[in-house]
Structure 1
């Protein structure tokens, strides 16, 4: 078990279908398949050029924003009222519950857990990096823990009432082992809310369906040099993982809210920049991808654009 920092601190709404510019990572373990702009097969951000005929569009800087700390897979966690949904599915229906957010990032789900439950005894904010917002670090109800989620969880047996974990499973060496650890630390009757974006479901209105599919496939298949594993199909695999676990399946949900913006700062734009980055090692495909971005931008300007991507969540109960 790894726990570099632990201890109680001193003191004691996203609308569905909207886009916000002030997005942030879900957590270092949950950042997913990010491609650093300076590490795309040796090409830095300056190597990215606008499509001919589209001066002024700096794809390089946008790809950099997609790839670094808090890349698009993590930034997506800000969208679609996800945090409210996760907190609601955790069924925080009584005082004194002990809750753990595994892969907490800066703590957006932690905030919703605190708002949803009448009076939680403790919310453990767990991640393998220390990214929790300062105000949460100074909340007496929050315990920040740094831990390796591929290792045994830093809790004794049967000490947790609720677990929430979003976009963590694809990064784990042993997802079934992670679920067994969740089972171990939950009290009988406790719930684990395990969710993941299925990145292969990214849906773009475009004028070239075949090219869109090719770019999504490249995006889903990229594993950056600094990350040892990733799985863009993890969302659809959660139910199978749940069926093979010791848990009872209490519920399964999915959602894919519509987004109509395609400008810098929108979710669809960030995903598209990830697709550009994933195609960077293929000169011909990169050029086609740049033209694809411009065509999608035109559709959005005309009010003819739609983007969506699917989240899947399983709610598991320990008997």
Structure 2
């Protein structure tokens, strides 16, 4: 018969949660007394020793491997229990200060659920109570209310990001219109041997000129967000998708090597990492943007026309609007305001 490992393993920061679960496990097996009372030598029986060994085994299997060295010399369950309690439950001034600071600085972490944060908070409260620093109900409510507000803020931010491509689909059911669309040079452009009348460069005609199709010195930019700097802007000059917001990115990967990008004003910004962004389109399907660069200090979110083209998406510029097309349907719509598409 094999002994089932504990569901909660003792690590570096979960002693109080682990201790409660371990007591319940030992109680269920009728072994709780082996970590509560010191048995007099004259009262020890062979049956008691067998049960004590079982209790010791359960405790040892409930500790992460790297922490088992602390109890390796223990021969009785109560010895192992006392060693772990003394190590993780020090009632020193330093421990009190550290845990109190954690309480005051407790906040939401990106990517974690609300229930996980509440469990971590309750663990901290129990720990403070154990070392003689009980947290009154009012203070607990204040911290939990702060957590709830922070959670709602993060949820709202995620929703705004997902809806950055969501506009009125009814406006673009039908033909693609007669706007200007840049799919790259025509396939037969390489057969032309003369010079372009627009850019005065050999190898292509005026209709295929990158200078002409770039729309002059002004990059074609538009956003479908609710605010100018909070939405995603399509930039014909950007070489990659970019964002300054770490919370926008899924499947995040920090970069080990130094990489820099130069923005419009000539300033160089360091790339911190990259990840994936999923945006909600007109057809209610999520469009996945990969290799989005995380650049702290960037003042807006950018989607690269070149990267969109690599994904098989076409950008069509019209007189007063701009559309991103998929295979046969519009994915996103921008509106022209001044020289930019907003």
* Same fold flag (TM > 0.5): no
TM-score scaled to structure 1, two decimals? Answer: 0.24
Of structures 1 and 2, the one with the larger relative CO (CA 8 A, separation 6+) is 1
TM-score scaled to structure 2, two decimals? Answer: 0.23
Q: In terms of Rg, which structure is larger? A: 2
